[in-house]
Structure 1
Amino acid sequence: MSVMKFWADMEQDEYDPEEFVERLAFRARSGSNSADLGEAQNLHTSFLQAIKELKIMHEKQEAKCKELEDKSREEERAHWTRVAALIHRNKAAAATYKSLDEKINSVAGKVVYLGDQLESVNTPRARAVEALRLIKHFDEFLDGETSVSPVFMDKSRLYEAADIIQKLNLIGQELPEKEFSHARRSIDAKYNEIEKALIEEFIKHHRSDDKVKMAELAVILSHFRGYNECVNAFIEQIQLTSLRGKDPFKDIVPLCRQSWDTISQVFPSPSNVMAKFVLNIYYVKLKEYITDKLQDKNDTEKYLKNLYFLYSQTIKLNSDLSNYNLGSDHLFLSRLTKDIFSRYLETYINIESRYLNDRARTVLQKYYENQGHQRKQMSGGVGTVQELKREMHGLIAARTNFNLAEILDYGGKTFLSDDIAIMIIQEAREAFRRCQVLSKPSELSSNAMEIFNILVSYLLHYHVDYAVELGLAGIPLPETKVPPETYFFDIIRQTNTIIFLVDKLFSDSLVPLVVSTSKHADCLQTKKNEWEKLESKLDTGLDRSIATIAGWIKTILTTEQKKTDYNPQGGEAIAVASGACLKVVKWIAELTKKIRDSLDGRNLEWVLQELGIRLHRTVYEHLMQFQFASAGAMTLICDMQEYRKCVSDWKVGTVTALFETLHAMCNLLILPPENLRGAAMGDQLANMDKGILDNWLQLRVDYKTARLANCL
């Protein structure tokens, strides 16, 4: 095997010695019979030959490596020699550079010294020349006549003339009035003439939008008394072609952006000019526009909307313009806004309160007129003379079967309107929004509470509380002889809706205005008091309504239930529910639907529980008046199944348990005597008083004959 073949095997990317040996063995075996006994000898010979060749390769590689190492050392020595020479040259160059730097500094110092010397000589000379020039010009004005110097006659030399007359004016002001009065007057006349010419030139270049010339003139005029006239002329020229739209708020920001580009390029003190420009816009254009919009206070709603819109737009405008440099006064725009709106903001809350009062009163009066209702003077709520009077009428009706009470249900009208409530709440929401923007920070919480009190007065007192009082008065007595109308549940539903809307308004609009102030606690207390007052009246109405429902159920059972239903005479009774029971269940099912539409959550659960308890009591007291035969007891059990089915949909555990117990008691009326004790000890009756069960068993017609007294 050649050495080159070994090189090809060992120079692979992933060289593996074991794989190399395997490949060597494979090559040695190739061509020979695998069964030949000399194969091992061939392998041995091949390996010896390969080892010998590899040793030769190793020796050659070592010799070659040594040769390369010697060569590398020679090159390294040569490189180090070269680096040392370069370092020496670098040190020499650094020393030369330092020497040159010292010489340059020395020359520069001498040049500066010579420059100072030349300047000290030239400056007095230049000043003397300038003084001589001014003296010659001043001499021309001494006789009181206007100078006829070419510099003042040539319009092309206006800038030079301006410089001379400005300095002459300063000199004239320092001279005695008596001796140089004629000269001073002549200089003043020429000063005014040149100043006017400069301003006219400035306006001309402004019209042609030549900012370079405008900047030159502005710098010159900045030393003149009429500089402000130049600024005013600039502002007037801009306003001649701007702010012609109906709404200046849309035009002011683009105009200021465009004008700032010109002002910053033209005037030497752009911030002062920009401040004056904005001041002119606010006090001339903006104030005139605002005054025109707010001059009519007859339409209060329009006035308040305009005031809110204009003030909001002005605040937004202030924010947009605050990006510009308007001088050192950071409250500049705020002061302008305050000056414009101060007389409107001082009377804002009075106008807002008057409008909200008038609006709420008008809306409610119109509503009652559309309902054809004349508001009544209510004498009060729960616990008053009306309450006592109602109880007396109920007592008389129960004992004499004669109803003296005059119950008005107004044909189902609740005198509550979600639309009216939403309308008033929306007005209050807008009032809160205006109050947040237009009120002073120190008056914001008190103004917000004033608006809330108006809302409470009209919506809760004048509207909701009045409707609840009418509803309470319209609830029929429990002794009613006709099916009672449960309109009070509609009142509860609408009242809950309105309270929810008011509570949302309270959280969203009022609380952010009064939080972290003393008024916050006052508002919470007011809301709590109003909620508790309404809740108390609604609870009273619910209690009266449930009492009326229980009374009507009792009336149905009393008038519709026959004694033969439970104690049939002659023949077997059919095991079906009685007519009285079916009528009660049907009426309760319709009533339950209405209750579910009016209440939800814990309130619904509480009402259904109370209704179920009173239904159970009424049915139980009704059954205690009958005697039950075995056949009649089957009818009773069918009745009880209907009652259970009716209340099972309520999913109220207490009520379900009561009727389950009553059903178990009904089973006692059909069981044979020997099974009564076991039934009485069952899960549903085990905890019941034995006296109650004994009284119940006495309702069986066979109580005495079957000797049931001791069966329990």
Structure 2
Amino acid sequence: LPTKLFTMDGLTKLQDELTIEDFDCLHFVDTQALKELRENPARQKPGAFDPDRLTACFERVVAQLDELRAALHQDQSRLIERAKTEESRCRDEVASIYATFEQVRDHFDQLDRRITAVSHKAGHLGDQLESANGPRERLAEMELLVRHLHEFCLESRTSFELTHGSPKLAETAATIQKLYQICSEFPDTDEFLKTKQRIIEQYKKVDEFLYKEFESAFLSKDYNYCHRLSVILASFKAYSRCTERFVTESLKTLPYLDSDVHRELKQCVSRTMESARLIFASPEPVMCDFIQAIFSKRLKDLVANRFRQVDPNDRTAYLKVLESVHQENRRACDDLAELHLGVDLAKLSHTLFLPYLSGYFQVERENLNERCQMVLDRYYEEQGHVRRKEVLQQQQVGPHNLLQHIFSGASEEQGAGRVLLCGLSVANIVAEVSQSCSRCRHLSQSSEFFQRAKELADIFFRYIYDEHVTYGLRLAALGLPQTDEVAQRPNLSFLEAVREANMIFHLCESKYSEILAPALKSAPGGASPQLAQVQERRRAISCGLEAQIQQGLERTLAAIVGHVRHLLNSEQKAADFRPPIGGSDGGASISGGATHACAQVCAYISGHVVGRLAFLDGKNGQLFRDELGIRLYRCLVEHLHKFKYSLSGGLQALCDLTEYMACLKPVRHSGFLVDGHDLYDVLCKLLNLLVIQPANLHDICEEESLRSLSREVKQSFIMLRTDSGSAEVKAALEKI
């Protein structure tokens, strides 16, 4: 290649191409090759290509790159050398600055020591000057006081010049104040009496003048002059009059309407506090007097006016007003506490409401008793019911006749079928107790709240359980008969009463835990004798209700079974199971349906018993159904043993049993089992012993469902056959 010196412009262009952001070496090679081909004249000839010229181009570009690298290396070396030189220079400057700083610090320490020494000397000199000038000033002050005293003694001065805004007002007031203190030590002798009287008279004039000045400045809102006067008056008797006047005028800024006082009290006190800080050097005592005046005058009158608007005989309105005013006052005190007044607001509130809170709980207790009794009376009046206590005062009557008197204007049948238990009335009583408990929490001291909560719990239990639930259950139980066999269809309203009692009990337990339990646990330590007494009362109520319900359910079962027994005994005829023989084979025609007695029993159970069983749910309902099913089973077995059965009579008994099983299906379940077999299915198998051939009796008795029964039970049913005395039946009995 021919030797060629590269210009700086060429290197610069090449450097620009190499330093682009997305540089690609392959693209760079392609670019150089294309440039060379465009400059080659041979390119215009088709198929002409000069590889040597392209090689020379690449070698030239490589040489340019080498030269560029060498130039960049030289620049790098120069920059490194320059950086080292600059670093060395900066190190020298930092060392020089550090040395200068050390010198300045030393000079500062020396200056600080000198200033400290000079300040000590200045302080010592000041103490010496004060010790020298203090006695001189006190001596000059004493001389001035003696001169004024001497003038009062000689009657050459009987007053001081007092003018509005005088710059010497503070000095004059201080002088007469000191003279007043001095003359108070004088004896009441003739030689000092006149002088003493003149000084006292002048002191009163100054005192009155300063008060008038303060009053005028305060009314004109010249608070700067008021502040100056308050400082002067601090040692005068008129200072208390000034604070009283400030308090009196500030009370006038409170709202005129009673309804706005508590709501705007904080804003009024805040404005008054700002004025007090501008007027008095010590505003805290003044604000304390102002707050006490608010409670003892304005709020006291407000509370009295609110109670004067209430009828003294209306306890409910009285308690509502008391709670409302107390709550408004408590919120106002909470707002005032944010101002940090340094006043015991709780004590002021207690003093304000003490005349009303001293007998509060007696009114609360009487009102709650009255309200709860009114709820129950209203309910019984709506039901047209006269309380049993009033009936028993008329004459001694039995349960049957008593029902005729319990419901005024209603027949015995209508009266006996009604349940006097109302969840809505109980909810109203709970609401009254809840309101009383909430009011008691706000109006009682924490030390006496849990004791009062125990009395509220007693009222809660009394009216809900003693006066309503227990009474309603006892009244519902009066409709249940006392005899084993019931001729008239018994009243089963007790089952509905049980449902209502259970709902009321669960409601009251929930509300007790929500309302009364937290109050009773608020005693110190979380437990108290009152809480133990209430817990014992709850257990006694629960046990009493359980026993009363159990007794009533037992009588209900007896009444149902007794009526079924009466229907069977009165309606069932022996001819139903032993009809006249109508053929040579000893058979008889079968009606194909249930007997009249069976129809009556099924109609009673399906129409009057099964529907009432829905009132009992849960475990109690299932136990009641079980016991009813078992007792009815025993009743049927007992009834079936009263008759003799022919072949057709046995078939009729099976028909009746099928009807019984169908109507008793709601009270039958898997618990009626004897060795895995349903009781009624076993009874059906036993009735089959009445209709099968004597030769097959032994085989039937050996079936799985009858195998576990005793020999006496199976024989007792076989003996009910009309042919039980035949040789075939006797032979079969011996095999069993």
TM-score normalised by structure 1 residue count:
0.77
Going from structure 1 to structure 2, the CA distance change for 1:573 and 1:580 (only over 3 Å counts) comes to same
Partner residue, 2:556: 545
Structure 1 residues 73 and 589 mapped into 2: Cα distance closer, same or farther (>3 Å)?
Answer: same
Moved more, 181-190 or 441-450: 181-190
Indicate yes or no: 2:454 matched with 1:449.
Answer: yes
Shift, 1:550, TM fit: 1.0
CA distance in 1, matches of 2:330, 2:352: 12
Contact 1:205 1:211 in 2 (8 A): yes
CA spacing shift, 1:197–1:543, aligned 2, 3 Å: same
Change beyond 3 A, Cα 1:656–1:49 = farther
The CA deviation at 1:632 is 5.9
**Which residue number corresponds to residue 487 of structure 1?**
493
What is aligned with 1:262?
275
Aligned to 1:431, what secondary structure does the other structure show?
A: helix
CA-CA distance at 1:282 after TM superposition: 1.3
CA distance 1:155–1:10, change in 2 (3 Å): closer
Moved more, 587-596 or 365-374: 365-374
Q: State whether residues 448 and 514 of structure 1, in contact with CA within 8 Å, keep that contact through their aligned partners in structure 2.
A: yes
Partner of 2:547: 536
Return the alpha-carbon distance in structure 2 between the equivalents of residues 676 and 222 of structure 1: 125
Is residue 388 of structure 2 the alignment partner of residue 375 of structure 1?
Answer: yes
Write the letter of the residue equivalent to 1:475.
Answer: L
User: Any unmatched runs of 5+ in structure 1?
Assistant: 28-44, 380-385, 391-406
Q: Select the residue among 239, 245, 251 that pairs with 1:233.
A: 245
8 A contact 1:556–1:584 mirrored in 2: yes
Q: CA deviation at 1:544?
A: 0.3
Q: Which moved more, 1:358-367 or 1:266-275?
A: 358-367
1:109-133 deviation per Cα after TM superposition (whole angstroms, max 9, x unaligned): 6478568757748777776776676
Summarize deviations over 1:621-660 as a string: whole Å, max 9, x none: 3333455566666665555454444444457432588994
Assess if the C-alpha contact under 8 Å between 2:207 and 2:236 holds in 1: yes
- Contact preservation (8 Å) 2:253, 2:268: no
The one-letter code sitting in structure 2 at the alignment partner of 1:532 is C
- The gaps in structure 2 that reach 5 residues or longer are 1-10, 35-51, 400-411, 522-526, 583-587
Contact 2:685 2:706 in 1 (8 A): no
Which range moved further: 366-375 or 167-176? 366-375
Within a 5 Å distance, the mapping from 1:262-281 to structure 2 comes to 262-281=275-294
Secondary structure in structure 2 of the residue aligned to 1:156: coil
SS at match of 2:388: coil
Distance 1:213 1:638, change over 3 A: farther
Name which of 490, 510, 517 aligns with 1:511. Answer: 517
Q: Structure 1 residues 236-245 or 4-13, which shifts more?
A: 4-13
Per the TM alignment, residue 165 of structure 1 is displaced from its structure 2 partner at its CA by: 1.5
Q: Distance in 2 between matches of 1:130 and 1:198?
A: 23
Counterpart amino acid of residue 290 in structure 2? F
Aligned with 1:522 (options 526, 529, 533): 533
Q: Secondary structure at the match of 1:654?
A: coil
Alpha-carbon contact 1:409-1:471 (below 8 Å) kept = no
Deviation at 1:292, TM superposition (A): 5.0
Q: CA deviation at 1:545?
A: 0.8
How far, CA to CA, are the matches of 2:215 and 2:253 in structure 1? Answer: 14
Report the equivalent of 1:598: 615
Residue of structure 2 aligned with 1:217, choices 205, 216, 229: 229
Task: Tell me which residue corresponds to 2:477.
Answer: 472
Deviation at 1:525, TM superposition (A): 0.4
Q: How far has the Cα of 1:237 moved from its partner?
A: 0.5
- Choose from 620, 634, 639 the match for 2:637: 620
Q: Do the aligned partners of residues 74 and 365 (structure 1) sit closer, same or farther apart at CA in structure 2, a change above 3 Å counting?
A: closer
- Secondary structure of 2:451's aligned partner: helix
Residue by residue over 1:397-444, the C-alpha shift from the partner in whole angstroms, topping out at 9 and shown as x without a partner, is xxxxxxxxxx99944344444455444444433333343334444433
Q: Is the 8 A contact 2:625 2:668 kept in 1?
A: no
1:695 corresponds in structure 2 to: 716
Kept in 2, the 8 Å contact 1:492–1:538? The answer is yes
CA distance in 2 between counterparts of 1:313 and 1:92 reads 74
Q: 1:589 to 1:249 in 2, by over 3 A?
A: farther
Distance 1:686 1:316, change over 3 A: farther
Equivalence for 1:169: 177
In the TM superposition, residue 188 of structure 1 has moved relative to its aligned partner by 3.6
Other-structure match for 1:496: 502
Shift of 1:710: 6.8
1:608 is matched with 625
RMSD over equivalenced CA pairs, Å: 4.8
1:557 is matched with 568
State how far apart, in whole Å, the 1-side matches of 2:58 and 2:263 are.
Answer: 99
Q: Secondary structure at the match of 2:237?
A: coil
> Which residue type is aligned with residue 606 of structure 2?
A
Q: Which amino acid aligns with 2:85?
A: A
SS in 2 for 1:321: helix
C-alpha contact 1:560 1:580 (8 A) present in aligned 2: yes
In the superposition, relative to structure 1, how do residues 227 and 705 fare at CA in structure 2: closer, same or farther (>3 Å)?
A: farther
TM-fit CA distance, 1:6: 13
Q: Is the 8 A contact 1:356 1:428 kept in 2?
A: yes
1:102-152: CA deviations, max 9, x gaps?
565436864785687577487777767766766666665444576565xx3
| Deviations, residues 368-387 of structure 1 (Å, cap 9, x unaligned) | 677352534999xxxxxx9x
Q: Which deviates more from structure 2 when the two are superposed, residues 280-289 or residues 660-669?
A: 660-669
Residues 66 and 438 (structure 1), Cα distance of their counterparts in 2 relative to 1, 3 Å cut: same
Which string of whole-angstrom CA distances, capped at 9 and with x for unpartnered residues, describes residues 435-470 of structure 1?
333444443333322333344444433443334333
Residue 583 of structure 1, CA deviation: 3.9
Q: Aligned with 2:671: secondary structure?
A: helix
Structure 1 partner of 2:332:
317
Tell me by how many angstroms 1:690 deviates.
4.9
Length-normalised TM-score, structure 2: 0.74
Q: 2:82 maps to what in 1?
A: 75
Q: Distance in 1 between matches of 2:74 and 2:699?
A: 119
Distance 2:315 2:80 in 1: 105
SS in 2 for 1:242: coil
Shift of 1:620: 3.0
**Equivalent-residue separation in structure 2 for 1:155 and 1:200 (angstroms):** 10
Which residue, out of 159, 164, 168, partners 1:160?
168
| Number of corresponding residues | 663
The question of whether the paired residues in 2 share the 8 Å contact of 1:478 and 1:549 is answered with no
